[in-house]
DNA sequence: CCCATTCTGGACTTGCTGGTCCATTTTCTG
DNA sequence: CAGAAAATGGACCAGCAAGTCCAGAATGGG
């Protein structure tokens, strides 16, 4: 059963008509993302973004007529797209215990590196419920992420490494929750123990499944 | 091995000397917590808090000389203390499958009721790394929460319901991460599926443990 | 080459919000 | 009951940051 072909990116603003315009717009979004990751949403002003991207006030409002909210939303989309990309190619090939292990290492490494800033979480809190688009971005990201995990689990099932009785969707949802929570806790406490525990326990749960005899 | 007797609440500000003062201070913190939960940190001003609590500017700064940050920190501590209280008495008595089930229901109900506002997460993001106290509050809360879960698991082990081979600390850490992530996802998407999946999978993992034959 | 459109620069306005200050009232203590 | 300490009211201030505006430069199509 193929999933509905939801477009991965909903165009917040029609990209500028000219090539130069598109370049400037992209520069703004990427630069803003940098600043936001460094300083946090609460402490970042349009002037900071302006300085970093070498643009003027009028450019900011030219490309994002609705102001800061619209810009933040664009950055949120930009960051959301990066999240899954950064886990590739492993996340797309979770068809062996080894690939799961490699993916696990990658996730831990990536978030430990990222330190104590969760771009998306912070962005979402700032933009908040005011913009319905914010919720859509996060929802879509979670859906895709979970789907990739589920696909990996089904691949293991197909290989006979995991019981076909396993409730893949629920297990994938739980694993995703564990990752999210692990990251959240790490952001708050600086300790990645919980993230590792969630990943390892989640994978161990796959292995421990009945009819899953093969252990590498 | 008894844990270090860390005081559960670190006094951010010495409570006012007179009874009236203490009452006013408490009123401010509680009222502020309400407003913050309703509006979110980013959209709440001192004037909102002033209006809600029926106080004047000078009172706010009289009881929180360091201004908004100090007040937010006090609210964060207030909210943190509530989190575990709200899960009692179940959380303190996780010594049977039935009590685990009841606790699970309570957690789901409580967070579904709370809707899309995570007081602590938002507060932490606003106060941020500037105040070292913020991190301490969250860290301590996580520590206590995880400890209560671990204690419950050991209780099951003592009753022979769960294998003594289970790595209790790691399993508790993973479960806590799952809860956190489940709540986070629910805040963002409005869907409690992940929270439930994390809880159910976590508890199922206890049941599936080797030497854990008793299933109710 | 010309004109419309797009893009850019930066000064300016404006509203808000955290924070200050002091006068006044209430409460505690001896 | 007096005097000190605490608590309260609310006007006031200053800075900042989002958003506006218009003039001028680049660009691109015909």
Task: Tell me the pLDDT tens digit for each residue of A16-67.
Answer: 789 999 999 999 999 999 999 999 888 999 999 999 999 999 999 999 999 9
Range of the domain at A18: 14-65
Written as six digits, the tokens of A189 are 């406490």
Written as six digits, the tokens of A174 are 């739980």
For residue B126, is it within any domain? Answer: yes
A58 CA to D20 C1' in angstroms comes to 9
Report yes or no: A133 at the B interface, CB cutoff 8 Å.
no
Residue A12 has pLDDT above 60, yes or no: no
* Judgement on whether residues A50 and A140 belong to the same structural domain of the protein: no
Are B125 and A128 an interchain contact pair (Cβ–Cβ within 8 Å)? no
Chain B residues lying within 8 Å of A145, measured CB to CB: none
Helix (H) or strand (E) holding A205: helix A193-207
End-to-end Cα separation, chain B, in angstroms: 31
Nucleotides of D under 7 A from a protein CB: 5-12, 16-23, 26-28
For residue B213, is it within any domain? Answer: no
Give residue-wise pLDDT tens across range A119-178.
787 777 777 655 778 889 999 999 999 999 999 999 999 999 999 999 999 999 999 999
C-alpha triplet A53, B128, B107: angle, nearest 5°: 120
Q: How far apart are CA A121 and CA B180, in angstroms?
A: 13
CATH number at residue B54: 1.10.10.60
How many CA atoms lie less than 13 Å away from A94 in the CB half-sphere?
A: 26
* Judgement on whether residues A92 and A188 belong to the same structural domain of the protein: yes
In terms of DSSP H, where are the helices of chain B? 19-39, 46-53, 57-63, 68-85, 97-114, 119-127, 132-158, 168-189, 193-207
Q: Nearest CA to CA, how far is B57 from chain A (Å)?
A: 23
Number of domains in chain B: 2
CATH number at residue A27: 1.10.10
The closest alpha carbon to A91, from A102, A82, A80, A81, belongs to A102
| Per-position pLDDT tens, chain B of length 216 | 444 444 444 455 666 789 999 999 999 999 999 999 999 888 999 999 999 999 999 999 999 999 999 999 999 999 999 999 999 999 999 999 999 999 999 999 999 998 777 778 777 777 765 577 888 999 999 999 999 999 999 999 999 999 999 999 999 999 999 999 999 999 888 899 999 999 999 999 998 865 544 444
Written as six digits, the tokens of B28 are 């401010």
Written as six digits, the tokens of B44 are 């709440």
* Judgement on whether residues B111 and B194 belong to the same structural domain of the protein: yes
Give residue-wise pLDDT tens across range A59-101.
999 999 999 999 999 999 999 999 999 999 999 999 999 999 9
For residue B181, is it within any domain? Answer: yes
Residue A178, φ and ψ in degrees, nearest 5: -60, -40
CATH number at residue A202: 1.10.357.10
For residue A4, is it within any domain? Answer: no
Q: How far apart are CA B83 and CA B195, in angstroms?
A: 16
Place of tokens 């973004």: A49
Report yes or no: A197 at the B interface, CB cutoff 8 Å.
yes
Residue B186, φ and ψ in degrees, nearest 5: -65, -40
* Judgement on whether residues B101 and B144 belong to the same structural domain of the protein: yes
Predicted confidence at residue A51, as pLDDT, reads: 97
Are A201 and B205 an interchain contact pair (Cβ–Cβ within 8 Å)? yes
Are A128 and B185 an interchain contact pair (Cβ–Cβ within 8 Å)? no
CATH number at residue B140: 1.10.357
Which three-class secondary structure state does DSSP give residue A83? helix
Written as six digits, the tokens of A171 are 């297990």
Predicted confidence at residue B117, as pLDDT, reads: 77
How many CA atoms lie less than 13 Å away from A186 in the CB half-sphere?
A: 26
* Judgement on whether residues B36 and B96 belong to the same structural domain of the protein: no
* Judgement on whether residues B132 and B175 belong to the same structural domain of the protein: yes
Chain B residues lying within 8 Å of A190, measured CB to CB: 135
* Judgement on whether residues A82 and A175 belong to the same structural domain of the protein: yes
Q: How far apart are CA A101 and CA A94, in angstroms?
A: 9
For residue A1, is it within any domain? Answer: no
Predicted confidence at residue A216, as pLDDT, reads: 44
A20 CA to D26 C1' in angstroms comes to 10
The closest alpha carbon to B206, from B91, B83, B93, B94, belongs to B94
* Judgement on whether residues A90 and A115 belong to the same structural domain of the protein: yes
Q: How far apart are CA A33 and CA A50, in angstroms?
A: 12
Predicted confidence at residue B3, as pLDDT, reads: 45
Does nucleic acid strand D have an atom less than 7 angstroms from the CB of A22?
Answer: no
Q: Nearest CA to CA, how far is B62 from chain A (Å)?
A: 26
Predicted confidence at residue A130, as pLDDT, reads: 59
A20 CA to D24 C1' in angstroms comes to 18
DSSP B190: S
Q: How far apart are CA A163 and CA A153, in angstroms?
A: 10
Of A65, A100, A125, the one marking the end of a domain is: A65
Residue A180 has pLDDT above 50, yes or no: yes
For residue A213, is it within any domain? Answer: no
Place of tokens 């292990």: A101
For residue B98, is it within any domain? Answer: yes
* Judgement on whether residues B157 and B114 belong to the same structural domain of the protein: yes
Predicted confidence at residue A210, as pLDDT, reads: 58
A149 and A168 in contact (C-beta within 8 Å)?
Answer: no
For residue B101, is it within any domain? Answer: yes
Footprint of strand C on the protein (CB under 7 A): A 16-18, 20-22, 24, 54-59, 62; B 18-20, 44-47, 57-58, 61, 67-69
* Judgement on whether residues A130 and A165 belong to the same structural domain of the protein: yes
Q: How far apart are CA A93 and CA A96, in angstroms?
A: 8
* Judgement on whether residues A97 and A175 belong to the same structural domain of the protein: yes
Which three-class secondary structure state does DSSP give residue A146? helix
Q: How far apart are CA A75 and CA A63, in angstroms?
A: 13
Written as six digits, the tokens of A117 are 């800033």
B116 and B169 in contact (C-beta within 8 Å)?
Answer: no
* Judgement on whether residues B131 and B180 belong to the same structural domain of the protein: yes
């Amino acid at each position: 059963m193929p999933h509905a072909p939801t477009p991965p990116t909903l165009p917040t603003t029609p990209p500028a008509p000219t090539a130069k315009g598109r370049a400037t717009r992209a520069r703004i979004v990427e630069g803003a993302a940098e600043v936001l990751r460094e300083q946090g949403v609460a402490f970042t002003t349009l002037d900071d973004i302006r300085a970093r991207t070498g643009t003027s006030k009028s450019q900011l409002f030219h490309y994002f007529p609705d102001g800061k909210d619209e810009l933040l939303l664009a950055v949120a989309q930009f960051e959301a797209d990066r999240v899954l990309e950064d886990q590739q190619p492993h996340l797309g090939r979770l068809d062996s215990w080894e690939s799961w292990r490699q993916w696990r290492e990658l996730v831990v490494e990536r978030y430990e590196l990222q330190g104590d800033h969760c771009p998306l979480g912070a962005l979402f809190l700032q933009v908040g419920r005011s913009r319905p688009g914010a919720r859509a971005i996060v929802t879509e990201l979670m859906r895709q992420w979970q789907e990739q995990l589920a696909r990996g689990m089904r691949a293991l099932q197909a290989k006979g490494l995991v019981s076909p009785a396993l409730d893949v969707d629920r297990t994938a949802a739980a694993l995703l929750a564990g990752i999210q929570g692990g990251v959240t806790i790490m952001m708050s406490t600086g300790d990645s123990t919980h993230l590792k525990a969630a990943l390892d326990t989640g994978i161990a749960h796959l292995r421990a499944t009945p009819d899953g005899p093969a252990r590498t």
